[in-house]
């Protein structure tokens, strides 16, 4: 791809210092940039690189005062601006050859769309559907009657089990399992009897799911990840959970059965959410929080058991003052004893 520096500037709201007609054709770190590259400099310690770079253009912060052979694009946050431009130059996912690899095992009743890529040693079971332009990297398993939407990208060794539905442009990273059985038993004195898990999982458009995640199917009905939600590595999503549109689940989060996570909610790393509650739209759950009851929309909670974040911080501040409190109480007790002694004398 080739872009004019002036056009790039427009996309990130930058002030151009130099020739906006110059073209850029690639991206690189400032110390590695070659002729034609766009790069950035977010820290003063890299300023010398800007002054000697071979790059065509450098995104710099407002504080940069030096000169450069490159065209400068001045913005408030160079790193963020650079990241936002990356998709112009680099694909989100590696290209893979179209067609079905001869070692893939595709059931004759599976329906394959146009321009699919079915990699080496993939398995596509009976009546599964692979949408137009979808990519199954090597070693991917797609179960019976599963549906993989157009433009999906399943990285190597992903497992999508029977009847699971992925919408369009879903990205799933390696080692992830979608559609494992929910953890359901009917227990009595003799032990735990498995409840067959007859539901499924629906993952809507433009969801991305990290590596080694486990998403259980519904016991009845479905587990649903709504459009645009982003799920990090090693997350556990139990049966019949709903993850709302554009929600963010950071690594190692666990969401228990039948809970609803609201739209645009954020669950920070290692947070755990009990079953059968609602985390409201736009709510923010702190790292390692243990959420034991529903969280209102827009609320911010943290700690275990999770409470309103400001309150949790305040309580924690008091907690840290406990030694002083005990000391103070002891001093006060001495003063009271002194007063009591005085009184004894007076009486």
Q: Which of 169, 173, 239, 309 is catalytic?
A: 239
Least Å distance, CB 21 to a copy of itself, is 26
The helix (run of H) or strand (run of E) holding residue 173 is none
Q: Which of 115, 144, 300, 308 binds a copy of itself (CB under 8 A)?
A: 144
Distance CA 82, CA 48 (A): 19
Distance CA 347, CA 340 (A): 10
- Does position 250 interact with a copy of itself (CB under 8 A)? The reply is yes
Active site residue 49: no
- Does position 76 interact with a copy of itself (CB under 8 A)? The reply is no
Distance CA 240, CA 200 (A): 9
Q: Which of 223, 246, 259, 278 binds a copy of itself (CB under 8 A)?
A: 246
Q: Which of 6, 36, 138, 296 binds a copy of itself (CB under 8 A)?
A: 138
> What residues between 288 and 317 interact with a copy of itself by CB under 8 A?
288, 290, 292, 303-305, 307, 314-316
Question: Residue 340: which residues within 8 A CB-CB, separation 6 or more?
Answer: none
Q: Which of 127, 129, 251, 277 binds a copy of itself (CB under 8 A)?
A: 251
The secondary structure of residue 40, as a DSSP letter, is E
Q: Which of 13, 52, 67, 83 binds a copy of itself (CB under 8 A)?
A: 83
> What residues between 16 and 45 interact with a copy of itself by CB under 8 A?
27, 29
Distance CA 243, CA 229 (A): 7
Residue 166: closest CA among 199, 131, 133: 131
Least Å distance, CB 7 to a copy of itself, is 18
- Does position 274 interact with a copy of itself (CB under 8 A)? The reply is yes
Q: Which of 121, 294, 297, 309 binds a copy of itself (CB under 8 A)?
A: 121
101 close to 120: Cβ distance less than 8 angstroms: yes
- Does position 240 interact with a copy of itself (CB under 8 A)? The reply is no
Dihedral sign of CA atoms 168, 173, 177, 183 in order: negative
Residue 159: closest CA among 226, 113, 198, 209: 209
Q: Which is nearer to a copy of itself, 114 or 337 (CB)?
A: 337
Least Å distance, CB 102 to a copy of itself, is 9
Residue 98: closest CA among 151, 148, 145: 151
> What residues between 161 and 220 interact with a copy of itself by CB under 8 A?
161-162, 171, 173-177, 180-181, 183-186, 191-196, 198, 206, 208, 210-214, 216, 219-220
The helix (run of H) or strand (run of E) holding residue 310 is helix 309-320
Question: Residue 51: which residues within 8 A CB-CB, separation 6 or more?
Answer: 66, 67, 68
Stretch that binds a copy of itself, among 17-25, 56-64, 267-275, 293-301 (CB under 8 A): 267-275
Q: Which is nearer to a copy of itself, 116 or 178 (CB)?
A: 178
Q: Which residues are catalytic?
A: 239
């Amino acid at each position: 791809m080739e872009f004019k520096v002036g056009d790039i500037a427009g996309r990130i709201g930058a002030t151009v210092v130099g020739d906006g007609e110059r073209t850029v054709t690639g991206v690189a770190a400032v110390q590695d940039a070659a002729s034609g590259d766009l790069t950035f400099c977010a820290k003063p310690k890299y300023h010398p690189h800007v002054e000697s770079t071979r790059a065509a253009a450098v995104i710099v912060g407002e504080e940069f005062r030096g000169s450069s052979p490159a065209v400068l694009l001045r913005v408030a946050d160079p790193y963020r601006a650079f990241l936002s431009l990356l998709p112009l130059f680099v694909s989100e996912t590696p290209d893979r050859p179209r067609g079905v690899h001869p070692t893939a095992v595709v059931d004759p009743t599976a329906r394959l769309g146009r321009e699919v890529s079915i990699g080496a040693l993939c398995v596509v079971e009976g009546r599964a559907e692979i949408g137009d332009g979808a990519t199954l990297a090597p070693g991917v398993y797609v179960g019976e009657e599963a549906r993989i939407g157009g433009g999906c990208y399943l990285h190597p060794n992903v497992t999508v089990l029977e009847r699971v539905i992925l919408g369009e442009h879903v990205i799933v990273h390696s080692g992830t399992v979608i559609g494992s059985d929910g953890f359901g038993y009917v227990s009595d004195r003799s032990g735990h009897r498995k409840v067959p898990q007859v539901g499924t999982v629906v993952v809507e458009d433009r969801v991305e799911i990290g590596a080694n995640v486990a998403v259980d199917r519904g016991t009845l009905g479905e587990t649903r990840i709504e459009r645009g939600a982003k799920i990090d590595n090693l997350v556990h999503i139990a049966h019949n959970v709903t993850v709302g549109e554009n929600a963010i689940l950071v690594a190692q989060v666990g969401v228990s059965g039948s809970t609803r996570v609201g739209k645009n909610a954020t669950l920070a790393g290692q947070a755990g959410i009990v079953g059968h509650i609602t985390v409201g739209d736009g709510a923010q759950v702190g790292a390692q929080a243990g959420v034991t009851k529903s969280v209102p929309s827009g609320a911010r909670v943290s700690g275990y058991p999770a409470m309103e974040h400001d309150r949790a911080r305040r309580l924690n501040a008091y907690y840290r003052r406990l030694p002083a409190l005990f000391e103070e109480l002891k001093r006060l007790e001495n003063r009271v004893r002194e007063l009591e002694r005085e009184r004894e004398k007076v009486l």
